[in-house]
Amino acid sequence: MHNSLNNLIEIQKEIQLKINELNNSIKIPQIIAVTKTHPMSNILPLIKHGHLDFGENKVQEAIVKWQDIKKTFPNLNLHMIGKLQSNKVKHAISLFDYIHSLDNEKLANKIALEQAKQDKKPKIFIQVNLENEDQKAGINRSELHDFYKFCKNLKLNIIGTMCIPPNTSEGNDYFLEMNKINQELNFKDLSMGMSGDYLNAIKNNTTYVRIGSKIFGNRA
Ligand SMILES: *Cc1c(COP(=O)(O)O)cnc(C)c1O
């Protein structure tokens, strides 16, 4: 078996065990296999195994890697997890099924225009910056409710919030707080947890974990 597929299966088993141990009512989260920088030869074993959800962080790289494969495997779900520039929205809407990184009005306006033009509605997460870290993308907590209202008025299909906690934390408190916010807003979906902290995210009811290096190895 290919290494990447073996890793994915081990992670799935580990997650199932963790859920059995914690609380069987926790929903098994969807694993987004984050494929940025990795070649299709390492990704295909997962696709052939039937894995459906994959994440990229750059539009251009995603087009080159995924445009044709998606035609061959139309059930694949492609997730845009990186910063999205407004001038790339047209391509992003045509290729991606999910956008995890909505965090400003200009981008929201552009997505609204483009989804109407293409008659295609991606599922969208609002990226949240809980600790107001300057260098980091995301909507500050104090602006989140207004921003969500703004997006709803534009008829965007917002399904949840997404975060990337500071790498100094293992995520626990941060994830706890995100879960609370997500419930306040009545969202069903939550995108948090990466290779180093996904078990903590699962404890806090995440529904999508985004895992790269633990499946595919370190990025060059
Ligand atoms: C790269 C990336 C991931 C995956 O990171 P790993 O630590 O390799 O699992 C998850 N989320 C985002 C937004 C990323 O850019």
Q: Domain-by-domain residue ranges, the chain?
A: 3-12+30-207
Average pLDDT, stretch 163-175? 82
Q: Is the CB of 195 under 6 A from ligand 1?
A: yes
Q: Out of 56-60, 119-123, 162-166, 204-208, which region has the weakest mean confidence (pLDDT)? A: 162-166
Distance 176 CA to ligand 1 centre (A): 20
* Mean pLDDT confidence for 109-124: 98
Tens digit of each residue's pLDDT (9 = 90 or more) over 171-208: 689 999 999 999 999 999 999 999 999 999 999 999 99
Position 220 scores a pLDDT of: 79
Residue 166 pLDDT exceeds 70:
yes
pLDDT of residue 135: 78
Ligand 1 centroid – CA 117 distance (Å): 31
9-23, 88-102, 161-175: least confident range: 161-175
Our answer on whether the CB atom of 31 is closer than 6 Å to any ligand 1 atom is no
- Tell me the C-alpha distance between 191 and 105, whole Å: 20
Question: Considering the chain, what is the average pLDDT of its residues?
Answer: 95
* Cα gap 77→70, rounded to integer Å: 9
CATH class, domain 3-12+30-207, is: alpha beta
Q: Which of 57, 103, 175, 208 to mutate to test the pocket of ligand 1 (most atoms within 8 A of CB)?
A: 57
Q: Is any ligand 1 atom within 6 A of the Cβ of residue 82?
A: yes
Cβ of 2 below 6 Å from ligand 1 = no
Query: How are beta strands 77-80 and 189-191 bridged, if at all?
Result: unpaired
pLDDT of amino acid 169: 66
Coarse DSSP helix, strand, coil percentages of the chain, rounded to the nearest 5 percent: 45, 20, 35
- For residue 196, report the distance from its CA to the centre of ligand 1, in Å: 9
Q: How far, in Å, is the centroid of ligand 1 from the Cα of 55? A: 9
**Ligand 1 atom closest to Cα of 162?**
13
Task: Specify the pTM.
Answer: 0.97
pLDDT for res 170: 65
> Per-residue pLDDT for 144 more than 80?
yes
Q: What is the pLDDT of residue 23?
A: 79
- From the CB of residue 25, how many other CB atoms can be counted at a distance below 10 Å? 7
Q: Which of 8, 30, 34, 81 has most ligand 1 atoms within 8 Å of its beta carbon, as the pocket-test mutant?
A: 34
Residues 6+ away with beta carbon under 8 Å from 189: 123, 125, 159, 160, 207, 208
Question: Cα of 119 to ligand 1 centre, how many Å?
Answer: 29
Of 158, 92, 106, 157, which is closest to residue 128 (Cα–Cα)?
158
As a whole number of angstroms, the distance between CA 44 and CA 202 comes to: 27
